[in-house]
Structure 1
Amino acid sequence: MIVRIVQMHFSENKIDDFKVLFEDIKEKIRHQPGCEFLELYQGTDDPQTFFTYSYWNSSTDLNNYRNSALFQEIWPKTKAMFDQKPVATSAEKLHSLS
């Protein structure tokens, strides 16, 4: 299981625009082949900071999404709202407790 974590910082006047965009695309992302889970978080200390967490069956599935027409459509729109460079990392999930 690959966990993709993306930290994004938006211009203050673009926060609502991003929330609307995410609402429109979240199901499309979640239903990409190999995507098992998707969450969006907003920072409590800095409400301009958002995080996405997505779980992918494999690096291949994640890379297929990153090369998909959907990603090519939504990433430029999202990127235009940033006021800082995003930070993205992938990690292999080793344990999960609930």
Structure 2
Amino acid sequence: MIRIVKLTFDPTRCAEFEALFAERQHAIRHFPGCSHLELWKDKVHLGVYFTYSIWDGPDSLNAYRHSPLFNEVWAAIKGWFTGKPEAWSLDRKA
């Protein structure tokens, strides 16, 4: 299962977000059920990022979303948003 999440931050918090992601990406990538994780930065819209991750399935993703690791990251970044996060769960079809 592919998961794409759009995150829109206050541009003054981007460096902090990138640093936090760099610190936590190894733990997220090695969370049970996660086989891939990338961070993408929009070339035009300042403060807009996307995470692209691949999970074994919904159960693995939900286990992560209810984990202390997710809660720690979310608590750190939730005050930095200027837009509501958007998420898509997708299946590869070709």
Q: Same fold (TM over 0.5)?
A: yes
Deviation for aligned residue 1:80: 1.4
**Aligned position for 1:44:** 43
Q: C-alpha distance in 1, partners of 2:75/2:19?
A: 15
**What's 1:16 paired with?**
15
Runs of 4+ in 1 over 4 A off after TM superposition: none
Cα distance, 1:79 vs. partner? 1.4
Equivalent residue, structure 2, for 1:63: 62
Which amino acid is the alignment partner of residue 66 of structure 1?
A: R
> Identity of counterpart residues, as a percentage?
38
What is the match of residue 25 of structure 1?
24
In structure 1, the gaps of 5 or more residues are none
TM-score using structure 1 length: 0.92
Q: Partner letter of residue 16 of structure 2?
A: D
Task: Give how far 1:78 is off.
Answer: 1.6
| Root mean square deviation, CA, Å | 0.8
> 3-state SS of the aligned residue for 1:5?
strand
CA distance in 2, matches of 1:62, 1:71: 10
Q: Quote how far apart the aligned CAs of 1:47 are.
A: 2.6
User: Please, what TM-score do these two structures have when normalized by structure 2?
Assistant: 0.95
Residue of structure 1 in register with 2:83 after alignment: 84
Deviation track 1:27-83 (CA, whole Å, cap 9, x = no partner) reads 000000010000000001113100000000111000000011111111121211111
User: CA separation in 2, counterparts of 1:61 and 1:93?
Assistant: 17
Q: Distance in 2 between matches of 1:56 and 1:78?
A: 22
**Cα distance, 1:9 vs structure 2:** 0.6
Letter in 1 for 2:59: T
